[in-house]
Amino acid sequence: DAGITQSPRHKVTETGTPVTLRCHQTENHRYMYWYRQDPGHGLRLIHYSYGVKDTDKGEVSDGYSVSRSKTEDFLLTLESATSSQTSVYFCAISEIWKTKNIQYFGAGTRLSVL
In one-letter notation, the amino acid at residue 81 is A
Q: Assess contact for 45 and 58: CB atoms under 8 A.
A: yes
Q: How far apart are CA 69 and CA 99, in angstroms?
A: 27
Tell me, residue by residue from 51 to 90, as one string, x for binding to other proteins by CB under 8 A and - for no binding: -------xx----------------------------x-x
Phi/psi of residue 84, nearest 5 degrees:
-70, -10
Q: How far apart are CA 32 and CA 34, in angstroms?
A: 7
Nearer to other proteins, 62 or 70 (CB): 62
Interface residue with other proteins, options 32, 102, 111, 112 (CB under 8 A): 102
Nearer to other proteins, 80 or 102 (CB): 102
Determine if 12 is a binding residue for other proteins (CB under 8 A). Answer: no
Interface residue with other proteins, options 40, 53, 62, 98 (CB under 8 A): 40
